[in-house]
Structure 1
Amino acid sequence: MIRRCLAAFLLSAVLFWLGTGLAPIPWLTWLAPLPVLLLAARVPARTAALVAFGAWLFGGLNLWSYLYGSIGLPGPVLAGYLIGLALLFPLAVLLWRALVVRGRYLLAVVAMPAAWSGAEYLVSLVSPAGAFWSVAYTQTDVAPVRGIAAVTGMWGISFLVMGASTTAAVAFAPGVRQRLPIAGLGLAFATVLLACGLWPAPTEPGPTVALLAIEQSVDSLPVDSVEGDRLLARYADQVRAAGTEVAVLPEKVFAVDDLPAFTARLAPVAVQSRTDVVVGLVHDGYNSAMLFPADGTTPTIYHKQHLVPGLEDHLRAGRSSVIVDGRGLVVCKDLDYPTVGREYARRGARLVLVPALDFDRDAWLHSRMAIMRGVESGFVVARSADQGYRTLSDARGEVVLGDRAPLPVGPTPYARLGDWFAWMCLLVALATLTRVVRPAGATGTTAATVGYDRPAGVGVRPRR
Structure 2
Amino acid sequence: MLLLGRIFAALISGALLAQAYSLNPFWPLAWLAPIPLLIAAIGASRLGAFAYGALAGVVSMALIALYFMGIAGLVPVLIITLSKALAWGAIASAVRAAARAAPTWAAVFVFPALLAGIDTVTAATSPHGSAGALAYSQMDFIPFIQIASLGGAPAITFVVALFASMVAFLFAKRAWVSALAPTFIIAGVLSYGVFRVPMVEPSTPSGPARTINATLIAGDQFEGVPDDWRYVWNAYTPQIERAADEGRRIIILPEKIAHLEPGDRAAAIEQLAEIARRRDVMIVAGADDEPENARFNRAFVFTAAGWASYDKRHMIPELESHFALGAAHLIFEYEGVRYGVAICKDMDFADLGREYAGVDVMLVPAWDFVDDAWLHSRMAILRGVESGYAIARSARNGMLTVSDAYGRVLQQAPSGPQTAYNVAMPTRGPGATIYARFGDVFGWLTVALAALLIGWTILARRRAGLGD
TM-score w.r.t. length of structure 2: 0.89
Q: Name 1:55's counterpart in structure 2.
A: 56
CA distances 1:335-384 after superposition (whole Å, capped 9, x unpaired): 00101110111xx3221100011011100000000000000111110000
Residues in 1 aligned to 2:188 and 2:152: alpha-carbon distance in whole angstroms: 14
SS of alignment partner, residue 250 of structure 1: coil
Residue by residue over 1:268-324, the C-alpha shift from the partner in whole angstroms, topping out at 9 and shown as x without a partner, is 22233332110011111111110001xx22201111111111211222221111111
1:299 aligns with 2:307: yes
1:124 counterpart = 2:120: no
CA distance in 2, matches of 1:123, 1:229: 40
| 1:59-98 correspondence runs (5 A) | 59-69=60-70, 71=71, 73-98=72-97
In structure 2, runs of 5+ residues without a counterpart are 204-208, 412-422
Per the alignment, residue 255 of structure 2 pairs with: 251
Contact 1:148 1:195 in 2 (8 A): no
Which 10-residue stretch deviates more, 29-38 or 235-244? 235-244
CA contact (8 A) 1:140 1:397 kept: yes
Q: 1:84 to 1:193 in 2, by over 3 A?
A: same
Deviates more, 1:82-91 or 1:190-199: 190-199
- Could you say which structure has the higher strand fraction? 2
Q: Is the 8 A contact 2:210 2:426 kept in 1?
A: yes
Tell me the residue number matched to 1:395.
405
Query: What residue ranges of structure 1 are gaps of 5+ in the alignment?
Result: 454-464
Cα RMSD of the aligned pairs, angstroms, is: 1.9
- TM-score (structure 1 length as normaliser): 0.90
Quickly say closer, same or farther: Cα 1:341–1:270, change in 2 above 3 A: same
State the 1:440 CA deviation.
4.6
Aligned: 1:446 with 2:464: yes
Q: Could you tell me how far 1:195 is from its partner in structure 2?
A: 3.8
CA–CA separation in structure 2 for the residues paired with 1:99 and 1:232: 60
1:446 is displaced (CA, Å) by: 2.9
What residue in structure 2 maps to residue 230 of structure 1?
234
User: Shift in Å at residue 233 of structure 1?
Assistant: 2.7
1:229 shift after superposition? 4.3
For residue 458 of structure 2, the aligned residue among 433, 437, 446 is: 437
1:341 aligns with 2:364: no
Contact 1:280/1:287 (CA < 8 Å) preserved in 2?
yes
1:367-446 pair list within 5 angstroms: 367-401=377-411, 402-438=423-459, 440=461, 445-446=463-464
Q: 2-side partners of 1:440 and 1:38: how far apart?
A: 20
Distance in 2, Cα, partners of 1:241 & 1:333 = 32
Task: After superposing the two structures, state which structure 1 stretch, 155-164 or 186-195, moved more.
Answer: 186-195
Name the SS for the 2:409 alignment partner.
Answer: coil
Alignment of 1:314-333 (within 5 A): 314-325=322-333, 326-333=338-345
Q: 1:249 Cα deviation (Å)?
A: 0.6
Q: Aligned partners of 1:162, 1:42: CA distance in 2, in Å? A: 19
Aligned to 1:462: none
Worse-matched range after superposition: 423-432 or 332-341: 423-432
**SS of the residue 1:61 aligns to:** coil
Q: Does structure 1 retain, via aligned residues, the 8 Å contact 2:219–2:396? A: yes
Map 1:78-157 onto structure 2 (within 5 A). Answer: 78-102=77-101, 104-157=103-156
